[in-house]
Amino acid sequence: MIKKFSFLIGILLFGLHYGQGQKKEQLQKQNADLKKQIAQINTDLAKTRSESKLSIAYLTNVNKKLVLREKVYNNTQKEKRFIEDEIYLRQLEINRQNRELAILRKNYAEVLVNAYKNKGVQNKVTFILSSKNLGEALRRVQYLKQYSDYQDKKAAEITTAATEIQKSIAQKKKSATEKENLLVNQKKDLATINVERVQKEQLVADFKKNEARITAELKQKQTQSKALEGQIRAIIAEEIRIAKAEEEARKKAEAEKIRLAKIAAEREKARIEAEAKAKAEALERERKLAEAEAKKASELAAKRAEEERKRTEDAAKAEANSRDEARKIAAKKASDEAALKAKEATDKLNAARAAEDALARKKEADKKAAESKAMTNFGVSTASGNNFAANKGKLGMPIAGTITHRFGRQPHPVFKNIMEENNGIKISVSKGAVARCVFPGTVSSILPASDGTKTVIIKHGDYFTLYSNLSSNSVSKNQQVSAGTPVGTVAQDFDGTYTLDFQVWNGSTPVDPLGWVSY
């Protein structure tokens, strides 16, 4: 029963070290990553604190930091439970080892008592010399050796068991110390979380104290955004109109090119057809002549073969003489010559037929080449269209930062009675940050706003990307740009933060940029 129990505890401990050990490492790694993120947020908050605390970007970072703090605390709670389980199972292991050690010591004591009582064993020399014969003496020597080895083995087992107990106790103490350190860190984390919750509540309270001013600024910003949206829609509508007109003109020009190219191609095909027809007629005459020659040669070969056969039969019936033998040889020679001519005629016929087939294939290939050449000469376009749509979900972000406003109609993060309509996303960045183009295209327009900021519109075939709230632009109208080209420097917003307004339009319809970029 004790052995079964020991085996069960051993399995539990192995599972604990293998399974929970991995989970503990994962939790510790997660916490290390979370703490790095928290440190980065603290750095960002320190940079923006001097600009404005009453900003959605600042509040977003405070909320994000609080969420990360709570994740760290929850991970620490899980790690503490793992350690507590480890301590409990370790204590079970120590109890089991103590019981096994007590049994080992009891058994060893019985061995020593028996050895003391058995005088023959104690007096080994007398025990051996009292043997009746040499065989018995050798068996007694072997017995004494085995008995001594058994005593040594039991003593070694006791020493090993005692050592294992000491290791288990040390590991338990280590786990207990680890738990104490975790508890200390938990208290610190909990205190920090409480302080940051108070800071968040104070920040929200400050927002509400300034509700009238912030609401007025928001409304003014929304009015400016609506005016800018009207300009954007007008520009995009004009771009679409011009693109349609250009496309129609291009299609007409392309159709005319195709018409002229087809006429030229038909003329060239007719010339090729005429040349091929003349060559085909000549080849046909050659083929027919070859067929006639082959037929004549075949008939002659058959006739000569038949003559040879008859002469051979006649020579066999009559006694062959020198004249018959000569006639036989002559017939064999004539038959061989006729067969050779028949073969040459057949080869010539096959060559004539192959020439006709080759001419037919060449004619078709020349006609296709003539059509392709005509299309190229008349400038018929075969270029593929824009592939912006094919890269949906793969575009890079225009700038690194924190997304504070998402696409669509959404309530204000603090003032729930205020609804915001966003045609794109807003990204809070550090001072001096530069927005970059997300895909190759052409700069369609650069719009100045009433607050002094600028909006850059870049055309990508049927799609447009917009970069708003720029203090300066790095591109010019009609400029060809590639992915990563600097577009402009982000300006300071009304709340003191530096925010880029990024939009993606499919024709005249704004779409959610987060469905297009990889972030």
Domain encompassing residue 181: 11-214
On whether both 430 and 370 belong to a single domain, the answer is no
Instruction: Please tell me whether the overall predicted TM-score, pTM, comes out greater than 0.75 for this model.
Output: no
Count other Cβ atoms within 10 Å, centred on residue 265.
Answer: 22
Quote the tokens at residue 325: 């033998």
187 within a domain of the structure (yes/no): yes
3-class secondary-structure state, position 455 = strand
Round to whole Å and give the CA distance between 88 and 179.
12
Give tens-digit pLDDT for 416-435.
666 778 899 999 888 899 99
**Could you tell me the CATH number of the domain that includes residue 461?**
2.70.70.10
Contact by Cβ (8 Å): 210, 435? no
Give tens-digit pLDDT for 45-69.
666 555 555 566 777 777 887 888 8
- For residue 465, the cross-strand partners are 458, 504
6 within a domain of the structure (yes/no): no
Contact by Cβ (8 Å): 495, 55? yes
- For residue 175, the cross-strand partners are none
Of residues 155 and 451, which shows the higher confidence score? 451
For 67, how many CA atoms within 13 A lie in the half-sphere containing its CB? Answer: 8
Give tens-digit pLDDT for 166-207.
777 777 777 777 777 777 777 777 777 777 777 777 777 777
On whether both 329 and 182 belong to a single domain, the answer is no
- Mean pLDDT, to the nearest integer, of 303-329? 66
On whether both 498 and 438 belong to a single domain, the answer is yes
Amino acid identity of residue 239, one-letter, is: E
233 within a domain of the structure (yes/no): no
221 within a domain of the structure (yes/no): no
Name the nearest CA neighbour of 40 among 58, 6, 65. Answer: 65
289 within a domain of the structure (yes/no): yes
On whether both 321 and 425 belong to a single domain, the answer is no
On whether both 358 and 418 belong to a single domain, the answer is no
Contact by Cβ (8 Å): 254, 381? yes
Quote the tokens at residue 285: 């005459």
Q: What end-to-end distance do the CA atoms of the chain give, in Å?
A: 59
On whether both 76 and 145 belong to a single domain, the answer is yes
Q: Specify the number of domains making up the chain.
A: 3
Q: Residue 466: what pLDDT?
A: 96
Among 171, 189, 214, residue at a domain's last position: 214
On whether both 195 and 299 belong to a single domain, the answer is no
Angle formed by the axes of helices 56-117 and 134-209, to 10°?
160
227 within a domain of the structure (yes/no): no
Contact by Cβ (8 Å): 339, 301? yes
- For residue 492, the cross-strand partners are 498
On whether both 72 and 119 belong to a single domain, the answer is yes
On whether both 421 and 460 belong to a single domain, the answer is yes
Highest mean pLDDT among 15-29, 116-130, 256-270: 256-270
Helix H or strand E segment including 509: strand 509-511
Please say if the pLDDT value at position 469 is more than 90: yes
On whether both 467 and 505 belong to a single domain, the answer is yes
Secondary structure of 361-415 in HEC code, one letter for each residue: HHHHHHHHHHHHHHHHHCCCCCCCCCCCHHHCCCECCCCCCEEEECCEEEECCCC
On whether both 373 and 402 belong to a single domain, the answer is no
Give tens-digit pLDDT for 63-86.
887 888 888 878 878 877 877 777
DSSP 245-281: HHHHHHHHHHHHHHHHHHHHHHHHHHHHHHHHHHHHH
Q: What is the gyration radius of the CA atoms in the chain, in angstroms?
A: 50
Name the nearest CA neighbour of 108 among 119, 100, 96, 120. Answer: 100
Among 214, 238, 273, residue at a domain's last position: 214
Phi, psi dihedral angles at 117 (to 5 degrees): -70, -30
Query: 99-103, 190-194, 235-239, 326-330: lowest mean pLDDT where?
Result: 326-330
444 within a domain of the structure (yes/no): yes
Contact by Cβ (8 Å): 516, 459? no
271 within a domain of the structure (yes/no): yes
3-class secondary-structure state, position 449 = coil
Round to whole Å and give the CA distance between 83 and 243.
68
On whether both 363 and 414 belong to a single domain, the answer is no
